[in-house]
Amino acid sequence: MNFASQFRAQIYTIYYFKKTDFRIINEKINTTDLKNNKVYFSKAINHWYSINKRNLPWRLSTDPYIIWLSEIILQQTRVEQGMSYFNKFSTKYPSVTDLALASEDEVLKDWEGLGYYSRARNMLATAKYISSELNGNFPSTYKEIIKLKGVGSYTAAAISSFAYNEKQAVVDGNVYRVLSRFFGISTPIDSTEGKKEFQLLANELIDNQIPSQHNQAMMEFGALQCTPKKTACEICPLKLECFAFNKGFINDLPYKSKKIKQTKRYFTYLIVRDPENLLIQKRPDKGIWANLYEFPLLESNSAQEQNELINDKNWLKTVLNDNIIVNHISDTHKHILSHQQLFARFIEIHVDAIAKISDNQLIINQQDISKYALPKLLINYLSERDDLLYLLNDN
């Protein structure tokens, strides 16, 4: 029996969580208590928000374009990290038409370091669509906004409520956490059933008069108060009625059923320079870091294969066809993406004059590398090597 049906049956059931196994301890409370709990929850959250909300620049605007920019940038990204990107994009591209005029390389460069690059590509595609098909007018209802590329139910609810005060409840990672802990809901948030159940509850809780503020309050509460770790329950205004706090389930909720399976990949990058130039290549338009730039790459199937490759220098001479000097071979740099773990090593090589190894490569002046969008793994590596740091400086 799921939470919604229990709720309809006026029974409040508390789940006892044990690893992936649930046992049920029945504790019935009456409907009045549950309704009171919801009223109490909404009032407390909105009151907390009025005192604790941060002054964030996108909250000063009801322009749907500005709100959309902030929401796309903040997906999977902390506010502290996203702030400089929001400032950069909203200044450089003050309207959706300005953004639509940019090239993909330009937008990827502006997005460099933020990760999940499909967001930037979808954002540009959407800007071009709005500019050419909708005369630059951002859609004004949830139903229209959700049709845009890269916009899901959460983002559509956020834009329509923040820009137009439409009554659409947002459910993001913060909201899942707050609701699951406070109401004691153990339905997996990565299941279809869980998504429906949490959305239903969020819809019931949203304030009719101030949907925009209510949504902001829910998200802010999850971001600042009901945090994933080191949760400050002792100073929480909801603690007296909070299921997770009172039953000791804070670290168990929200619950996910699937473990993300991460594949391991072994990358060996060749940083090939001659006195003036550098060799780079564009990544394919599918897979990780699509259409970004990188150094020539050799991928191995295991750490052992990668070590064998690096220890056998003969192939370098064969591939580069030149008098090469190997300046440095790095240790392994581990880089974690959502579904992949990368184990990267870098071989820094000097040659007399660079020649391309394959057709998709570019020979560029070393000073021009800062014009190309690179994955964060490469930026991190360049910034930690004194010999290479100059490549990152704008010239």
**Contact set with ligand SF4 (CB under 6 A):** 178, 181-182, 225-226, 231, 233, 236, 238-239, 242, 244-245, 250
CA–CA–CA angle 260, 84, 45 (5° rounding): 65
- Nearest distance, CB of residue 220 and ligand SF4, angstroms: 13
- Nearest distance, CB of residue 177 and ligand SF4, angstroms: 8
- Nearest distance, CB of residue 53 and ligand SF4, angstroms: 16
Q: Whole-angstrom Cα distance, residue 159 to residue 135?
A: 19
CA–CA–CA angle 60, 62, 64 (5° rounding): 130
CB 118 within 8 A of CB 383: no
Active site includes 71? yes
Which CB atom, from 250 or from 337, has the smaller least distance to ligand SF4?
250
- Nearest distance, CB of residue 246 and ligand SF4, angstroms: 8
Which CB atom, from 223 or from 226, has the smaller least distance to ligand SF4?
226
Which CB atom, from 41 or from 346, has the smaller least distance to ligand SF4?
41
Active-site residue identified among 71, 197, 294, 348: 71
- Nearest distance, CB of residue 40 and ligand SF4, angstroms: 12
3-state SS class at 95: coil
Determine whether 271 is exposed, middle or buried from the number of CB atoms within 10 Å of its CB (0-12, 13-18, 19+).
Answer: buried
Instruction: Please name the amino acid found at residue 42.
Output: S
Which CB atom, from 68 or from 245, has the smaller least distance to ligand SF4?
245
* DSSP-assigned letter for residue 304: H
User: Whose CA is closest to 279, among 316, 314, 331?
Assistant: 316
Strand intervals (E) in the chain: 13-18, 21-26, 263-273, 277-282, 293-294, 297-300, 325-329, 333-336, 340-350, 361-365
Which CB atom, from 184 or from 211, has the smaller least distance to ligand SF4?
184
Active centre residues (catalytic): 71
